[in-house]
Amino acid sequence: MFTQLLELATAPHGVDRFLELVRPTWAADDTRARVVAATRETPDVVTLTLRPGRGWARGRAGQHVRLGVEIDGRRHTRCFSLASSEHRTDGLVEVTVKANPDGIVSRHLVATAAPGLVVALGAPEGDFTLPATRPDRLVLVSGGSGITPVMALLRTLVDEGHDRPITFLHYARTPADVIYADELAALGRTHPQLDVHVVTTRGAGTGALTGRFCAAHLEAVVPDLGGAEAYACGPVGLVDAALAHWEQAGAIDRLHVERYSLVAAPSDGAGERASGEGSTGARTHFAGSDVTVTSVGTTLLEQAEAAGLTPAFGCRVGICRTCTRTKVSGRVRDVRSGTVSGSGEEPIQLCVSAPCHDVVVDL
């Protein structure tokens, strides 16, 4: 009620516009954070050290946050994994951002982020986290910027004095592309229970292994998966290869994965495309905008953007739920799992939903 009264008193600009003038990290409608350090890890990767404002609840290692930044007068929000230990005591948190050639936010942050920048910071989300009872044996696998949440797990375990075996297998294109290279090397030297292997996929690296993740690499560093709990994060190819290996080993229930890009599931529906995308020719009506488009088999988010609409989105892979809207009628398929929805009204994520037939969406 108090905030509502303030909104009325400060109209038309709202409470946040005035709070920004006093202290930029204060806001009534969202939580903000100030960048206190911007460390260039590689030419296309920056680590932002953030001091969250009031009301932000610290998350668990392995979770992600929605980070919003103003670019040309418009706020853009994307998901980034927390990279810091959940036991950090100075009130700061870290996210590491790799510039995506097609990414507005990641390219902006890598190019321009500096101390003093204020960003919006959402609550931590996700279940790519360690169990409360730490495993006796851990295997960590990551590729490229997929190292970020895995590094948060490792830093947390190190802060806890975890003294049981951990094997860390990380993939990068070249030695120059290895994020946290110096820290990984130092941890490997100073923690005898930690076995670190950095593998390069393009040319010779510093270790004995080269090329992309495969069963032979895993067997070389972990001959017996035994009862090890495993975490894998990275590109689709790496995660799928890990899933296949753990499935074959009969240990799939001990593998936790996080993907950084979308993979489509095969369709099993009669008359629908085997690619896992939606049916072509279906009509999608965005009711709130009174716009109707003919489906070309892409997701609803892509269809909306192609029609000139600008729905909010974050991760584009079905993790953050920023793009959730209400489907009024019609059936859609989840392009990750192939699951087809009911025909009635329900919330759906635009980024991972493709129409099976004519649909109406509240957008």
| Distance separating alpha carbons of residues 177 and 182, to the nearest angstrom | 12
pTM, entire model? 0.73
Low-confidence residues in the chain, pLDDT < 50: 2-3, 6, 12-13, 18, 21, 264-278
Supply the pLDDT for residue 274: 30
Kindly report the length of the chain.
363
For residue 267, the model assigns a pLDDT of: 39
d(CA 50, CA 37): 7
pLDDT value, residue 311: 92
pLDDT score, position 319: 76
Residue 237: what pLDDT? 86
Q: What is the pLDDT of residues 137-191, one digit of tens each?
A: 999 999 999 999 999 999 999 999 999 999 999 999 999 999 999 999 999 999 9
Would you say 254 and 230 are in contact if contact means Cβ atoms under 8 Å apart?
yes
